[in-house]
């Protein structure tokens, strides 16, 4: 791994050949996840999953596994793991720079060998993983008031030289490899991995803030807003419960219940992440940058008329439109630093997107990336996403650290990939769970502005986890 790699091969596979690797009862629609299950518990296995959604151009599912090298960051230290040699060393670079230098550099200039057209495919091989919200501490001087009680890394990104990509539109599968290998038989290589124990909660979920404490925090935010410190601050509460078994089992149920286009499962070195996020952070494709901030939420209802009223109420809500516009302005500013002059614009403002639990107000901001900038530089400089901090960003993050009792870890961070062709996509990790040391964490928050109503904001946080916490509490029960 000390030299640059030369070539990546891509082979198209038939679903029939892949079905033969799965148990006889596997349905065709579950094939991709059934294959991933064989590596789900292996260190640094990653699934990027559209969950059947077509929102945000949802089309491709990607699994990447057995990374050659991994960059991790925890407690201010950044380490490089060589998985083949089993060696680890501390490095001086900050996380995103380290990922560029030690991982992405290895595949720059690699050539593509494929008998089929793969120009439409994302990723193929490259770097991928997670950057938690607190990765921002490497780049900004922030207070350390909130408690950090996690053991898994804040940043965990690998160099993946193998992947399997599913095109859900055509039903075709592509195996990508840097060593000329053909698609491996997971079942023979990972026989012991498929015996993951069933998931169950061993305690109820509890929050790190009572409703009274949450409203008191909103009062403090209101004073900051009135004083002109901020225009908007995102405030979240953290729920936690004890659990046993495999979070992967729970993820499979959550993805079905939520159908979120940026769903993901990631097994880091010390914990597992299950994300059912609907929100794109930044995408770069053919030099075009896109970000899709979500601001504005209303609950879904079974009654069709009530559900339509809820959506219309959101579309016409001045407060939510104002909130959304503030974040659009922040993100236009964030991406313009790395985009060509006058290329940044807003093709969609205040569009309605409806998911299983909630309606959202979503805007789209696009631009053309500077020829001299890497997508990772863009990601680093816009990190964490403005839609989940508030504005101005740094002051809002200081207030978050003051008022939220615990650090956010993966919540409001990002799961992302950057392929060898400099194509990148990334999520904002809302509706996301972290499982470590038999404790499960889940968060929900919202943007607070001057005309926010505390009771409504508190209820909104509960609406956002209405297809997560109840699903997990009933998991495995008849």
Q: DSSP labels for 109-159?
A: T-EEEESS--TT-S-SSEEEEEE-GGGGGGTS-----SB----S-SEEEEE
Residue 420 has pLDDT above 80, yes or no: yes
CB 19 within 8 A of CB 124: no
- The C-alpha atoms of residue 443 and residue 358 are separated, in whole angstroms, by 16
Over range 44-52, report the average pLDDT: 94
Report pLDDT for 108.
87
Report pLDDT for 186.
64
Report the candidate in 416, 409, 471, 461 with the shortest Cα–Cα distance to residue 435. Answer: 409
Report pLDDT for 216.
98
The verdict on pTM exceeding 0.85 is yes
Q: Quick check: is 295 catalytic?
A: yes
Q: Tell which wins on pLDDT, 349 or 194.
A: 349
Report pLDDT for 1.
46
Residue 331 has pLDDT above 90, yes or no: yes
Which residues, including other chains, have CB under 8 Å from residue 95's CB and lie 6 or more apart?
71, 73, 78, 131, 135, 138, 154, 155, 157
Residue 195 has pLDDT above 80, yes or no: no
Over range 414-421, report the average pLDDT: 97
The neighbouring-strand residues paired with 69 are 82, 159
Q: Quick check: is 25 catalytic?
A: no
Instruction: Select which of 292, 295, 393, 467 is catalytic.
Output: 295
Q: What is the pLDDT confidence band of residue 26, given thresholds at 50, 70 and 90? A: confident
Report pLDDT for 54.
85
Over range 452-466, report the average pLDDT: 95
- The C-alpha atoms of residue 410 and residue 168 are separated, in whole angstroms, by 28
Report pLDDT for 2.
43
Residue 384 has pLDDT above 60, yes or no: yes
Instruction: Select which of 37, 279, 398, 460 is catalytic.
Output: 279
- The C-alpha atoms of residue 364 and residue 151 are separated, in whole angstroms, by 36
Going by the DSSP 8-state scheme, the letter that residue 303 receives in this structure is: S
Over range 332-354, report the average pLDDT: 95
Backbone phi, psi, residue 66, to 5°? 50, 60
Over range 145-154, report the average pLDDT: 95
Residue 32 has pLDDT above 60, yes or no: yes
Q: Report pLDDT digits (tens) over 448-457.
A: 999 999 999 9
Q: What is the pLDDT confidence band of residue 191, given thresholds at 50, 70 and 90? A: very low
Q: What is the pLDDT confidence band of residue 476, given thresholds at 50, 70 and 90? A: low
């Amino acid at each position: 791994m000390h030299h640059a790699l030369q070539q990546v091969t891509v082979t198209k596979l038939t679903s029939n050949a892949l079905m033969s690797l799965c148990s006889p009862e596997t349905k065709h629609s579950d094939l991709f996840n059934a294959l991933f299950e064989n590596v789900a518990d292996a260190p640094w296995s990653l699934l990027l999953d559209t969950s059947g959604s077509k929102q945000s151009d949802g089309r491709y599912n990607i699994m990447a596994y057995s990374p050659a090298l991994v960059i991790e960051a925890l407690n201010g230290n950044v380490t490089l793991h060589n998985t083949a040699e089993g060696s680890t060393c501390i490095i001086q670079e900050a996380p995103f720079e380290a990922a560029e230098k030690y991982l992405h550099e290895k595949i720059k200039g690699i050539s593509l060998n494929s008998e089929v057209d793969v120009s439409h495919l994302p990723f193929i091989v490259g770097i991928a993983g997670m950057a938690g919200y607190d990765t921002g501490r490497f780049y900004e001087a922030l207070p350390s008031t909130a408690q950090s009680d996690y053991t898994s890394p804040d940043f965990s990104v690998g160099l993946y030289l193998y992947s399997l990509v599913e095109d859900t539109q055509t039903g075709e599968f592509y195996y990508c490899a840097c060593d000329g290998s053909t698609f491996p038989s997971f079942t023979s290589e990972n026989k012991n991995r498929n015996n993951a124990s069933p998931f169950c909660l061993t305690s109820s979920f509890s929050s790190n803030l009572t409703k009274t404490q949450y409203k008191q925090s909103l009062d403090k935010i209101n004073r900051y807003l009135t004083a002109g410190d901020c225009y908007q601050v995102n405030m979240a509460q953290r729920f936690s419960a004890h659990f046993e078994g495999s979070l992967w089992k729970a993820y499979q149920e959550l993805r079905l219940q939520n159908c979120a286009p940026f769903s993901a499962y990631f097994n880091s070195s010390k914990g597992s992440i299950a994300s059912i996020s609907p929100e794109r952070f930044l995408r770069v494709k053919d030099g075009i940058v896109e970000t899709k901030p979500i601001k504005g939420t209303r609950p879904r209802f079974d009654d069709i008329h009530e559900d339509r009223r809820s959506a219309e109420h959101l579309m016409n809500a001045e407060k939510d439109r104002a909130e959304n516009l503030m974040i659009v302005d922040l993100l236009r500013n964030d991406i313009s630093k790395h985009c060509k002059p006058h290329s940044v614009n807003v093709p969609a403002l205040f569009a309605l997107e409806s998911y299983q639990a909630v309606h959202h107000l979503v805007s789209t901001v696009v631009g053309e990336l500077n020829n001299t900038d890497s997508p990772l530089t863009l990601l680093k400089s816009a990190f964490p996403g403005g839609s989940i901090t508030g504005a101005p960003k740094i002051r809002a993050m200081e207030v978050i650290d003051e008022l939220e009792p615990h650090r956010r870890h993966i919540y409001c961070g990002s799961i992302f990939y950057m392929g060898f062709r400099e194509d990148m996509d990334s999520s904002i990790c809302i509706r996301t769970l972290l499982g470590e040391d038999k404790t499960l964490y889940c968060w929900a928050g919202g943007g607070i502005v001057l005309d926010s109503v505390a009771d409504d904001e508190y209820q909104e946080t509960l609406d956002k986890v209405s297809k997560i916490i109840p699903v997990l509490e009933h998991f495995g029960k008849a």
